[in-house]
Chain A
């Protein structure tokens, strides 16, 4: 009989755990695989039934995503000069010609500006507020903290109409600034509460040591507290970015042109020249990338951040 330990998992339970994790991973990743593969299918393949798992990869979806195209008569089609580029060729194969670039690039850029802008602002304001709440005697501190938390107690969309009217009269509708402010307002309570927790965990002695070593309060904050809070700041930033990046309802309501983000834009692709699923999938794939890269870059911090407090002490 082999030695039995209460704390050490047995071989069988390890296998079961591995199996469950694998199963869960497959279930969660399947839609992602579906989207990414659909982006590389031709229009035909994307709607074939049963779905094709093995297919001839095509960049049709990506080309369609970034271009607008027009159908020309067969006479004109024959008179056209040979396609100048590889993407011209892909469009010609569908019996169309490129009319110009699509708006996806701009919309994507809007998402980047608004998403990262509001994340940055939430983190800056959130860190300062969290530090103040953590370290200073703020009058009515608990009430203020509760008030900040209470802004998250209803779904933000419940105030969509007042915000719509407010933004219209303030001239903030369909502006980058307006969207950045809105997402910051939604994220700030999460940022303050999360960051306060992280800053509370940093012993005050570090700053006190810095104060005695001749630094001002702000220098101590910047050079001693901030590096210590990096983990918390990184994980808070990820949460803020994911919200701002994926937000759909306010974006539909408040943006239509200059400041429209990618989420409300992607579905509009469907309407152009039939249901172009590869283009939609290509848009979704590209849309996934920034958050994915951001999260991978901060992954180490995120892991420590989520388990913070649970493991230490």
Chain B
């Protein structure tokens, strides 16, 4: 298994730049998520690591070795494709053994290895079936089998659960994570589903328009988004943005939202002009009193919680509150925010201002 280092990776397709100088490190054994909306460059990045695209510039180091200009066949990497790409003219056994055959592994050893992989994945009974008639889940397992049979340095997975139906996806995600925990294999996983990324990943890179927006653990990314894009992309419902004009200097522990002071972690840099206060819905509480007020315009019941939408002087805001709390449309309520969990952004650049809370979080 291997550590993968990406340095200033860039990819241009003609005049279009798909990836604009990404840098991050994937530690040995990590389950690493490349997350972003479609067209953000995450798949291109994965394909460059795998060797299916050659970078325009920058470096890819696998175990300290620069492989950036080497063909895929010389990188010792396995990949699971979104549509699985099982060889349709071969049966399951042949599909799984195919990577070993290319390495000239003796037949007896191939048989033993295929049997072992089949046992791990629970697909022993379908080994001699053609791949055409398999269910989505079995195809997924065969694709995984083809990837793990060779003990490669790392696994690349391009939205491997995208082709499965919702119910089964959940199950397969658990299976994948369990498999990873057992094999401790460095895995790079591309997804546009933030829940999947949070649920499965050890680390997440969030990309947008070919740029790495943030790189860190799911907790870091959720609690301390480095940019407004990340704040908006991660979490459902997304982080609330309260836009206001203001000024902060290092040492400030509150900002003025209209006339109301709102406490937040100690600001460590100065900024002025249009600012944005970022509040996760679960960090809003509704009270009868309170200086900062809003009117309820909608309430969605979700079982244990409900999402209450309120109109405030600085934009609408969604609050996640216990479903037992009474929320009537039209009612005026006071809002309070959990001070330690707030983020402050510069509206022009979209960047999070440095505070006592997010210091040390990696920025893209």
Contact = CB atoms under 8 A, between A and B. Distances in A.
Q: Do A and B come from one complex?
A: yes
Interface of A: 203, 205-206, 208-217, 219, 224, 227-228
B89 to A, nearest CB: 4
B52 interface: yes
A213 B146 contact: yes
Contact of B99 (A206, A213, A217, A224): A213
Given A208-B81, A213-B150, A214-B103, 18 more contacts: A203-B83, A203-B85, A208-B72, A208-B85, A209-B87, A210-B87, A211-B51, A211-B52, A211-B71, A212-B52, A212-B73, A212-B77, A213-B99, A213-B102, A213-B146, A215-B102, A219-B102, A228-B88
Contact of A216 (B73, B81, B86, B87): B73
A211 B47 CA distance: 12
Contact of A209 (B71, B79, B89): B79
B78 interface: yes
Given A208-B81, A212-B51, A212-B79, A224 B87 contact: yes
A201 B43 CA distance: 22
Interface of B: 50-52, 71-73, 77-79, 81-83, 85-89, 98-99, 102-103, 146, 150, 156
- A contact face: mostly helix, strand, loop, or mixed: helix
A183 B326 CA distance: 84
A136 B18 CA distance: 19
B89 A213 contact: no
Nearest to A202: B88
A206 B102 contact: no
Contacts of B102: 213-215, 219
A94 to B, nearest CB: 57
A214 B151 CA distance: 13
B109 to A, nearest CB: 16
A211 B73 CA distance: 5
B88 A212 contact: no
A214 B71 CA distance: 9
A206 B86 CA distance: 7
B83 A205 contact: yes
Given A227-B89, A228-B89, A212 B72 contact: yes
27 contacts: A203-B83, A203-B85, A205-B83, A206-B88, A208-B72, A208-B79, A209-B79, A209-B146, A210-B98, A211-B52, A211-B72, A211-B73, A212-B50, A212-B52, A212-B77, A212-B156, A213-B78, A213-B99, A214-B99, A214-B102, A214-B103, A214-B150, A216-B71, A217-B71, A219-B102, A224-B87, A228-B88
B78 to A, nearest CB: 7
B285 to A, nearest CB: 49
Nearest to A224: B87
Contacts of A228: 88-89
A214 B87 CA distance: 14
A205 B80 CA distance: 10
Nearest to B99: A213
Nearest to A208: B52
B163 to A, nearest CB: 12
Contacts of B98: 210, 213
Nearest to A217: B71
B78 A212 contact: yes
A228 B71 CA distance: 23
Nearest to A219: B102
A60 to B, nearest CB: 50
Contacts of A209: 79, 81, 85-87, 146
Contact of B85 (A205, A215, A217): A205
A213 to B, nearest CB: 4
